[in-house]
Structure 1
Amino acid sequence: MENVILIVHLLLALSLIGVVLLQRSEGGGLGMGGGGGAMSARGAATALGKVTWILAAAFIVTSITLTVLAASDAAGVSVMDRLSGSAPASETGDGTAPLDTDSLLPPPSAGDTGDADAPLVPRAAD
């Protein structure tokens, strides 16, 4: 369901860009000095203007819908809970095991043998 809404959202974005680029330029940024425009009460609503408003409204609706779906998938588990591994697998909601924090440690250095309890042996002088 989320993928379908995302595809519709992307198509709306592309078509909105296309419709805006097809409109006639009034000159003078933000309608200044253009002799009326979309901001004035006398501005006539052209077909492209109406299509732009419809596409913009649909784009906002799909944006809000995707936000609500993403929030419901989060299920209240924070990123820090996932990193620390303190969240049990039943709370994640998707059946996956908690994150293994040992895999987040940096790799051992070149001189490290991997045994933390082993005594340090000085190297022989070359």
Structure 2
Amino acid sequence: MENVVLIVHLILALSLIAVVLLQRSEGGGLGMGGGGGGAVSGRAAATALGKLTWLLAIAFICTSITLTIFAAENASGSSVVDRLGVTPPALNEPASPAGPEGDDLLPPAPGDNAPLVPTLE
């Protein structure tokens, strides 16, 4: 059953791409431009390709949710690392700090005699 849904999902994806590419370009981004008549309306006329796009998009989302449910049912409660049988290195060794500690993060105080640029000696 999962394979059938996956094949339908792929066909819907390809069909959705084709239908979107077939539609007429409105020009301009974010709804600007377009070849509207004299009156500016907030809602464009729904064409057959527009309705088909909505239908394919809703079907695509439904198959996506269905595939997610199938994946959740088939998922086990263990991690991929658990299935390998190897303990991760972080559990074997104590954690060491990755960066500077404490006062090393702060710049020297104004009254400090510490050099601003470290010298190589």
* TM-score (normalised: structure 1): 0.60
Give structure 2 stretches of 5+ with no counterpart: 88-121
Cα distance in 2 for partners of 1:77, 1:19 equals: 41
Q: CA deviation at 1:57?
A: 0.5
Q: Read off the aligned partner of 1:5 and give its amino acid letter.
A: V
Q: Post-superposition shift, 1:20?
A: 0.4
Which residue is equivalent to 1:72?
Answer: 73
- CA distance, structure 2, for counterparts of residue 59 and residue 42 of structure 1: 24
What's the counterpart of residue 19 of structure 1?
19
Following TM superposition, the consecutive aligned residue runs of length 4 or more in structure 1 with deviations greater than 4 angstroms are: none
Q: CA deviation at 1:42?
A: 2.7
Scaled by the length of structure 2, the TM-score of the pair is 0.62
Q: Are positions 1:33 and 2:33 aligned together?
A: yes
Give secondary structure in 2 for the equivalent of 1:26.
coil
Query: Which structure exhibits the higher relative contact order, with contacts defined as CA atoms closer than 8 Å and separated by 6 or more residues?
Result: 2
How many residues are paired up? 83
1:78-101 deviation digits (Å, cap 9, x = unpaired): 212101279xxxxxxxxxxxxxxx
Identity %: 77
